[in-house]
Amino acid sequence: MSRSILCFGEVLLRLSAPGKQLLMQSGSFEAHVGGAEANVAVSLSRLGHRTAIASNLPDNALGHSCIGELQRHGVDIGAVQFREGRMGLYFLTHGAGQRPAEVLYDRAQSAFALAPAETHDWKSLLQDTQWLHISGITPAVSAAAAEAALLAMRAARAMNVNVSFDCNFRAKLWGTRSAQAPKILSELCQHADLIFGDDRDLAFMLGFDAGNVSATEKRRKAAAVAFETFRALRWIAYTERTRHSADSQQLAGTLHTAQDVFTTRPYPLQGIVDRIGAGDAFAAGILHGLIRGLSPQATVDFATAAGCLKHTIPGDFNLLGVSDIELFLSEVQTDVRR
């Protein structure tokens, strides 16, 4: 089947303590399906795009039910392979007030981590594909996954498929492979048209130090170095979050082109319901804008609005559609839609 956007990454099962409880405070867990690339695929599907996911999952009830959840939201799962290994899990304790949220990863030895590098036939999967999206979690999971990500990106580049890469650096996941992270991430970024990452991500990858300058200057400089270093690069995007408490924060978005910088005003986030996946919702929003041909400013506005609204949806997926996001951007005071 033809696909517009193909995401490659690990699908995770999240088990969270209900409401504001601590983990195991009472005897139950709420289950949601997530994973950075799955989140992007579902978001884009709800925004009206054809999407597909390439992944590896265990051939058991957990793996199959995750697939079902992706299908439910319209994501094509033809490129998912069932293989040896565990279901990747993570346990989530929601934050509350001044208590931060807490994630306990339990994804070692997952089917995705154990899969060899050459399990997917990228040439065939990328037929009729407009964009390939991968996050920095994929190369962190295992050396084979990193290799697979590189193969996918090279194939995409060769076939004139656009490539986006979300740095998403998480030291814990890289574990003993941390030292190689900058090199691996940089290699991947060589193939990217679009990188999601702020000045710290870029500095980490490029071994770059902006010196003692203002935050704005740091970002500008980091972007300049990145556009110079990564030859395919056309866009850099990221959000900036200010946190007052687990329930009340602020979010602003930025989109760099080689020439310009486009920013949004900081949007207040009140009564936050579920903070996980907001970055992926933003990423999906940027892809939506670029695919639909919106202006850079309209693109970053749309993406930031999507990121903000994700905070109101339980689970990892942003389930809202274009009209919900446009209503947000219209700034019309709407209390109850009838």
The residues in 176-235 that bind a second copy, with binding defined as CB under 8 A, are none
Interface of this chain with a second copy, residues 53 to 82, rule: CB under 8 A: 60-62, 65-66, 68-69, 71-74
Residue 307 within binding range of a second copy, rule CB under 8 A? no
Using CB under 8 A as the binding rule, whether residue 323 contacts a second copy is answered as: no
Q: Is 109 in the site for a second copy (CB under 8 A)?
A: yes
Q: Each residue of 266-289: b (16+ CB within 10 Å) or e?
A: ebebeebebbbbbbbbbbbbbbbb
With contact defined as beta carbons under 8 Å apart, do 115 and 85 qualify? yes
Among 193, 121, 179, 180, smallest CA distance to 155 is for: 121
Q: How far is the CB of 332 from a second copy (least distance, A)?
A: 9
Phi, psi (rounded to 5 degrees) for 196: -95, 115
**Using N-to-C axis directions, what is the helix angle for 278-292 and 296-310, rounded to 10°?**
150
- By CB under 8 A, tell whether 324 contacts a second copy: yes
Residues in the chain, total: 338
Nearer to a second copy, 38 or 226 (CB): 38
Give yes or no for a contact between 40 and 284, defined as CB atoms under 8 angstroms apart: yes
Nearer to a second copy, 109 or 178 (CB): 109
Query: What is the separation, in whole angstroms, between the first and last Cα of the chain?
Result: 38
Interface region with a second copy, contact rule CB under 8 A, candidates 119-127, 134-142, 180-188, 242-250:
242-250
Decide if residue 238 touches a second copy (CB under 8 A): no
Judged by CB under 8 A, does residue 104 bind a second copy?
yes
Query: Judged by CB under 8 A, does residue 99 bind a second copy?
Result: yes
Q: Would you count residue 29 as binding a second copy (CB under 8 A)? A: yes
Alpha carbons 102 and 191: distance in angstroms, whole number? 33
Shortest spacing between CB 175 and a second copy, in angstroms: 12
Q: Which of these ranges, 121-129, 185-193, 223-231, 321-329, lies near a second copy under the rule CB under 8 A?
A: 321-329
Among 2, 270, 295, 330, binds a second copy (CB under 8 A): 270
Q: Minimum distance between the CB of residue 114 and a second copy, rounded to whole angstroms?
A: 11
Q: Which stretch binds a second copy (CB under 8 A): 3-11, 192-200, 207-215, 326-334?
A: 326-334
Taking CB under 8 A as the criterion, the residue among 273, 295, 326, 330 binding a second copy is 273
Which residue is it, tokens 């089917």?
111
Q: CB of residue 192 vs a second copy: minimum separation in angstroms?
A: 24
Q: Which stretch binds a second copy (CB under 8 A): 102-110, 123-131, 180-188, 202-210?
A: 102-110
Rounded Cα distance between 177 and 140, Å, is 8
Q: In whole angstroms, how close is the CB of 239 to a second copy at the nearest point?
A: 12
- Comparing CB distances to a second copy, the nearer of 27 and 207 is 27
Which residues 149-178 are close enough to bind a second copy by CB under 8 A? Answer: 170, 172
Report yes or no: 33 and 316 within 8 Å, Cβ to Cβ: yes
Q: Does 261 bind a second copy (CB under 8 A)?
A: no
Collapsing DSSP states into helix, strand and coil, what is residue 121?
Answer: coil
Q: Which member of 55, 203, 315, 316 binds a second copy (CB under 8 A)?
A: 315
Does 127 sit near a second copy (CB under 8 A)? Answer: no
CA-CA distance, 266 to 282, in Å (whole number)?
14
Are 241 and 95 a contacting pair, CB within 8 Å? Answer: no
| Cβ neighbour number for residue 223 with a 10 Å cutoff | 24
**Residues 181 and 141: beta-carbon distance below 8 Å:** no
Joined tokens for residue 103: 């994630």
